């Protein structure tokens, strides 16, 4: 778990209402991710976790409410400016390019101007975090195992030089051992000072790792607190930890 590095709000979501076309999914979501923290969103299928991350990333526009990152108003910025500001989303299902090699996929991540300048250093950092990717650097994205594809998806996100990394179900579909290795990498990133907002099916694991956490139910935040507090909360235990 990361320490409480800084009390300065890094990412602040204020009363966001959002959805798809006329369908409302988020009904006034508010949350804060402080710098250097790892924060998790937990909740059942269809609760609105992915929609929350997509709205922060600019893939969906809030119908009302604001999303602030430091002094920048993300909810008024075009998607490419959001990425340039350092807010990077690694989607559920990974979204890597099947016909491109591992290294080409990584290069795609360094398209923001500031990231291009540091491309070689970022590549070294990604290979040091995920040595397996370096051994597979010429292999096509579509032929990777699930765990390697997840490493590549995170690696590509890191190539954009994020200030905050949003991970959607990083352990989805992976065996427990492979999921362990992904979580070990997430902890290393956290120790290196990365700010992380994570959505994870394995709520117990997410809560143990997180400085703070939010429970999302039917598009609303119904509970929030330190990861350890929610891990020991009777309702959370029953509803999300299978205890
Ligand atoms: N493109 C879309 N168009 C219309 N409705 C959508 C779309 N994507 C998601 N939804 C709906 O929005 C609601 C929230 O979906 P979301 O993907 O945010 O849930 P989630 O909490 O991430 O769930 P899961 O744990 O299954 O990934 C669901 O009812 C879903 O059917
Ligand atoms: Mg989801």
- Token pair for residue 175? 């065996």
In short, whether 4's Cβ falls inside 6 Å of ligand 1 is no
Of the residues 114, 142, 161, the one at which a domain ends? 161
180 and 70 in a single domain? The answer is yes
pLDDT at 112: 82
Using the predicted structure, report yes or no on whether residue 15 has a pLDDT greater than 50.
yes
Of the residues 139, 161, 183, the one at which a domain ends? 161
- Residue 139 domain-assigned? yes
Q: How far is the CA of 44 from the centre of ligand 2 (A)?
A: 9
Q: How many domains is the chain partitioned into structurally?
A: 2
* 100 or 111, greater pLDDT: 100
13 and 70 in a single domain? The answer is yes
Please give the number of the atom of ligand 1 that sits closest to the Cα of 48: 18
In short, whether 8's Cβ falls inside 6 Å of ligand 1 is no
167 and 157 in a single domain? The answer is no
Return phi, psi of residue 220, to 5°.
-130, 150
Q: How far is the CA of 22 from the centre of ligand 1 (A)?
A: 14
- Residue 232 domain-assigned? yes
Q: In angstroms, what CA-CA distances link 26 with 40, 44, 181?
A: 17, 14, 32
Range of the domain at 155: 93-161
Return phi, psi of residue 142, to 5°.
-70, -10
In short, whether 36's Cβ falls inside 6 Å of ligand 1 is no
Q: How far is the CA of 78 from the centre of ligand 1 (A)?
A: 22
36 and 51 in a single domain? The answer is yes
70 and 127 in a single domain? The answer is no
Q: How far is the CA of 57 from the centre of ligand 1 (A)?
A: 15
**Percentage of residues in the chain having pLDDT higher than 90:** 86
Domain CATH number, residue 47? 3.40.50.300
- Residue 22 domain-assigned? yes
The per-residue pLDDT for range 31-83, each reduced to its tens digit, is: 999 999 999 999 999 999 999 999 999 999 999 999 999 999 999 999 999 99
In short, whether 210's Cβ falls inside 6 Å of ligand 1 is no
């Amino acid at each position: 778990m990361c320490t409480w590095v800084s009390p300065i709000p890094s990412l602040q979501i204020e009363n966001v209402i959002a959805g798809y076309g006329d369908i409302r999914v988020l009904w006034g979501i508010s949350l804060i991710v402080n710098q250097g923290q790892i924060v998790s969103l937990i909740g059942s299928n269809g609760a609105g976790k992915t929609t929350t991350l997509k709205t922060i990333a600019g893939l969906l526009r809030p119908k009302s409410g604001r999303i602030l990152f430091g002094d920048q108003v993300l909810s008024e910025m075009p998607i490419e400016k959001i990425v340039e500001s350092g807010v990077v989303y690694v989607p559920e299902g990974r979204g890597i390019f099947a016909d491109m090699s591992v290294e080409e996929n990584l290069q795609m991540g360094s398209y923001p101007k500031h990231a291009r300048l540091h491309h070689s250093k970022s590549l070294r950092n990604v290979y040091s975090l995920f040595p397996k990717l370096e051994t597979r650097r010429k292999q096509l994205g579509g032929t990777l195992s699930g765990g390697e594809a997840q490493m590549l998806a995170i690696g590509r996100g890191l190539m954009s030089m994020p200030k905050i990394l949003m991970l959607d179900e990083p352990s989805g579909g992976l065996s427990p051992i492979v999921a362990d290795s992904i979580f070990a990498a997430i902890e290393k990133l956290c120790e290196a000072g990365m700010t992380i907002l994570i959505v994870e099916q394995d709520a117990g694991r997410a809560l143990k790792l997180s400085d703070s956490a939010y429970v999302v139910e039917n598009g609303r935040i119904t509970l929030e607190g330190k990861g350890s507090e929610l891990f020991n909360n009777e309702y959370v235990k029953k509803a999300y930890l299978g205890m």
